[in-house]
Each structure stands twice: as structure tokens, then as C-alpha cells.
Amino acid sequence: MTVYDTTPRLPLPDGDDGPDGSMADLFAGPRSGTEINLRRLRIFWAVAHCATLTRAAKLLNVSQPTLSQQLTGFEASIGAPLFERRSNRLVLTEVGEMVLRKAEKVLRSAQDLQDSLPSADNPARHTLRIAGVASVMRVILPAAMQRLAAVEPTVDFDIHENAPGEIIDLLYGRRVNIGLMAANSVAEVSAGFQQLPIIEDPFVLAVPQDLDLSKVTVPARDLKPRQLQVLNSTIQFVFGTQHSSRIQDWFDAVLPKNRLAFRVRSFELALDLVATGLGVCVVPALTVLEGNTVRPGVRLYHINLEPRRIVAMVPSQYRHAAPYSAFLTALQEVGKTVTLPQIDPMPPFIASH
């Protein structure tokens, strides 16, 4: 009987195959602690994308000493440094860039294999792992899942609600298949991912329901003292340094006497504070929706900020594979049918800036 060796193997750098022309064995037994295996490939890949050991260790849920030890062993197996240490960051060397391209192919194939395997309890089922920002998950996801169930009834879901940076980490760590977020809330992403447009979500000024700004040209002249105090009290969601700065610059331009009254970590709390009459805030319009209903107690006005572009971020190999392609189509179809809450015209004092 002929026995074939079907163990996956990782190509070494061009011209650097083993002495017999073979490839490096991914699953071979230990060779003085310098073997190449999937675990070390994942660690290398995570460090390459996270740029720091601390962030990579958090992503992989391992201790930093363990990660550092595995990375050192992986570099020894390659026979060349894969990173340069620059300040507090790790930057890939030329060899590191080459190994990363090959590692991505191996890890992608391993993920494809894992995703294609039937579960023990139900071999016909398939799990879609999705991460997204809260407002998009609440408004878009339920209807898209309902559409998918009509054509793919055996699919189930593993859902994560996260901030944009965490979603990117989950995608890079291959713990989710699809990420739903604003394209303009993240920096450049790996070439191994595609972005599919879902919906444009305009930023709006949310004010208490009884604060009418429709004819306000000069707030200090046209509003009562209490109304002016509320308008100048800003409630800001902590987006991140760059976006928070953009929102503050906008407030400074249209309301020169504004003061930052509250910093919050959720749009829901920000809107609750607005509804109570404690101030005003800039939010994406979708955050005001609660399913198919509009959050009570707030009034929305158009403003002159670029809308956030909601996208589905997906690894390239899943773009046209079932059932991912059907779900991505469902997301785009639902995005076209979403009805935004009522948004009043831009107040005169904002339009003049």
C-alpha cells in the first residue's frame, strides 16, 4: 500500500528551500524549537499587523513573554530578522514583507479549510462570524439575516458588537469573517480585504426636541438665555483623536462660545443626555433609530460634515463564496431600503459657515 505525505508545507524564501529542495514542514515535530507551524505563522501575522507586541498579545489572548518567545523562534526558523525595532513599533524588514505574503496565503488556506468543515452536531450548518458597530448592527443586520434565511436556512451567526479598531483586530485575527463599520473611521487596511458599500449615514446635529433652530441666524440674538446655554453645551462621543478633533473644529466654527460639557463612550448615552436637555451633539443619523422607530426627545438638523460611509469589510477569498456572497448581497439590499429619521434643513447660522 502506498502512503502519501499530505502535510501542508510553507515555501521558504526564493532560492532558500531545504538542502534537498524540499519545503519547510508546517506540522513536523520540534527541531530545536525552530519549527515553522501555524501557531507561529498566526503570531507573526498578528505582530506584523498590530505593529506592537502588546497589541498582538491582546489580539491573540496570549501573554507577551509567550508571544515574544514564539516570534523569536519563528525568526530563527527563517534564518533572518523579520522586524526592525523603531521607537515603540515593529516594522517589517524586506525578508519580513516576503514572509508575510507567503504566511497570508497559508493562513487563508487554513481558514478556508476550517470554514468548510461540517460541525459535529449538524454537518449541514455553516456559521457566519460578524463584528460591527452598534448602530449598524441594530438597523441593518436583523433584516439582512432575515433575507439570508430565506435562501440559506442552514446558516447561523456569531455576532460581535465592537468599536472600529476592535473590528479590524478581529478581522486580522480571523476571529470574524465580516466587519461592518464606517470606512472613514479606520486607517488603510490590508490588501487582503475588500470593502463593499452598504449605506451612507449623514452626520446630524441632535438637539432637544423643543429647541427650534430653523430660523436662528445669530444664536446669541435669536435664542433665550437658557436655550443658548443648551446650544453651547456640547456632548461628544469619543471617536478617536482625529475624528474628535474634526468634530470639535466644527463646533468651534459654528458655535465659537461652545464648551465641552460631556465626553461619552456610546451614542445612546449621548442622545439620552440631549433628550434630557443637557446639551447638543453631532451623531450619525442611524444612531437615532431603534430598530424601525426613532428615539424620542431629540430633533435632528442637517449639517455640513461628510457622511460616514458604512461598508462591509471582508477577506477577499470570501467575497464570492457561499454563503458569504449571499449575505453581502442581502446587506447591500437592506442598505438601499433603510429609511433615515426625519432631518430638518440646516439652520441659517450653520449654513453661513
Least confident of 32-36, 73-77, 134-138, 232-236: 32-36
Q: The dihedral of CA 270, 275, 281, 282: what is its sign? A: positive
Which CATH number fits the domain that encloses residue 187?
A: 3.40.190.10
Burial-class residue 203 by CB neighbours within 10 Å (0-12, 13-18, 19+).
buried
Question: 19 with 108, same domain?
Answer: yes
Domain check: are 176 and 223 in the same one?
Answer: no
∠ CA(180), CA(186), CA(191), 5° rounding?
A: 85
Could you say which of 56, 91, 116 is where a domain stops?
Answer: 116
Amino acid at 265: R
Q: Answer with the one of 85, 116, 147 that is the final residue of a domain.
A: 116
Range of the domain at 212: 203-307+340-351
Does 237 share its domain with 303?
Answer: yes
Same domain for 167 and 43: no
Most confident of 75-89, 120-134, 201-215: 201-215
Within this chain, do residues 166 and 38 fall inside the same structural domain, yes or no?
A: no
Q: What gap in Å lies between CA 170 and CA 52, rounded to an integer?
A: 16
Q: Are residues 179 and 208 in the same domain?
A: no
> 192 with 317, same domain?
yes
321 and 194 share one domain: yes
Q: What is the pTM of this model?
A: 0.72
- 180 SS3 class: strand
Task: Determine, yes or no, domain membership for 4.
Answer: no
Considering the domain architecture, whether residues 49 and 77 belong to the same structural domain is answered as yes
1 in any annotated domain: no
pLDDT value at 12 more than 60: no
More confident residue, 202 or 28: 202
Domain count, the chain: 3
Q: Is residue 3 part of a domain?
A: no
Report pLDDT digits (tens) over 85-127: 887 888 999 999 999 888 888 887 787 677 666 655 555 568 8
181 assigned to some structural domain: yes
Same domain membership, residue 94 and residue 32: yes
Q: Say yes or no: 234 and 346 in one domain.
A: yes
CB atoms within 10 A of CB 230: 20
**Judgement on whether residues 101 and 142 belong to the same structural domain of the protein:** no
Which of 116, 139, 165 is the C-terminal boundary of a domain? 116
pLDDT for 242: 65
Q: List the one residue out of 131, 112, 241 whose CA is nearest residue 176.
A: 131
